[in-house]
């Protein structure tokens, strides 16, 4: 599983490099800057599940509830909504576990009880009608919830590790399916750009052969002006 994910990630990275090389060769500096910026902000993280998990954990650890919700919503619109109905219950369970992972973290880090209360205040309208959250609204008012039989399992390392592994495996399988169905077509498009890049290289080589017949000062004129690249 991890080997296949690594192959997929390396394929994306190689394709990115081909596109960057093409843009550099053509002198499309502004386009290259936009590409680098979008790659840095890529929410799908180049189909690297470990990077997606890292991003989710960063939102949790920084108590960024808005960022966490927006990122999950993006994954839902971009990925989960394409799944058959039979898998929707799994997505809902993972979302529930993610929110619980977040709220448990607010309690485990001392001095952030206000973040626990903030979670339930902002999520009340969405969660109050869900049976799985019915008993959780009392969580901020329990002095030692980690010792409460109803909540103690969620404070264990075993629960958090199991959740993260489950989410990782789910995303891995999902990306592999998307790779099989869609990614090959994108690679073919990128391959076409690579072939065009090579054709342009050949043209430049032929022009350089002509440059050798010109006076030295003419050969060096192309070095004048913008040397950004």
pLDDT tens for residues 65-98? 999 999 999 999 888 888 888 888 999 999 999 9
Is there a single domain that holds both residue 73 and residue 159? yes
pLDDT above 70 covers what percent of the chain? 58
Query: Structural domain of residue 18, as residue ranges?
Result: 1-42
Same-domain status, 12 and 38: yes
Band (222; pLDDT cuts 50, 70, 90): very low
Same domain for 70 and 140?
A: yes
Is there a single domain that holds both residue 4 and residue 31? yes
Both 20 and 83 in one domain: the answer is: no
Instruction: Give dist(CA 61, CA 80) in Å, integer.
Output: 24
Is the pLDDT higher at 105 or at 208?
Answer: 105
Instruction: Assess whether 4 and 114 both reside in one domain.
Output: no
9 or 56: whose pLDDT is higher? 56
pLDDT digits (tens, 9 = 90+) for 135-160: 999 999 998 999 999 999 999 999 99
Does one domain contain both 96 and 14? no
Residues 59 and 169 in one domain: yes
Residues 19 and 96 in one domain: no
What pLDDT, in 10s, does the model give residues 108-136?
Answer: 886 678 999 999 999 999 998 999 999 99
**Whole-number pLDDT of residue 8:** 46
Average pLDDT, stretch 33-59? 72
Question: Do residue 134 and residue 89 come from a single domain?
Answer: yes
For residue 155, CA distances in Å to 50, 96, 110, 131 come to 23, 15, 14, 21
Residues 76, 12 share a domain: no
Q: What is the per-residue pLDDT for 91?
A: 93
- Number of domains comprising the chain: 2
Residue 133 lies in a domain: yes
Regarding whether 25 and 4 lie in a shared domain, the answer is: yes
pLDDT value of position 20: 66
């Amino acid at each position: 599983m991890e080997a296949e994910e690594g192959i997929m990630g390396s394929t994306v990275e190689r394709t990115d490099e081909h596109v960057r090389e093409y843009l550099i060769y053509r002198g499309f500096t502004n386009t290259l800057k936009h590409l680098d910026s979008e790659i840095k902000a890529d929410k799908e993280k180049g189909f690297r599940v470990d990077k997606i998990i890292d991003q989710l954990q960063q939102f949790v650890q920084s108590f960024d509830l808005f960022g966490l919700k927006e990122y999950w919503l993006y994954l839902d619109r971009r990925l989960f909504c394409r799944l058959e109905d039979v898998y929707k219950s799994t997505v809902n369970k993972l979302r529930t576990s993610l929110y619980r992972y977040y709220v448990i973290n607010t309690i485990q880090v001392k001095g952030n009880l206000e973040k626990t209360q903030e979670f339930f205040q902002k999520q009340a309208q969405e969660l109050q009608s869900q049976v799985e959250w019915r008993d959780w609204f009392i969580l901020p008012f329990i002095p030692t919830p980690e010792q409460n039989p109803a909540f103690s399992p969620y404070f264990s390392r075993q629960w958090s590790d199991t959740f993260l592994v489950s989410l990782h495996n789910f995303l891995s399988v999902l990306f592999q399916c998307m790779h099989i169905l869609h990614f090959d077509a994108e690679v073919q498009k990128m391959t076409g750009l690579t072939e065009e890049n090579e054709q342009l290289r050949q043209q430049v080589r032929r022009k350089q052969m002509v440059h050798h017949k010109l006076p030295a000062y003419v050969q060096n004129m192309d070095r004048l002006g913008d040397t950004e690249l």
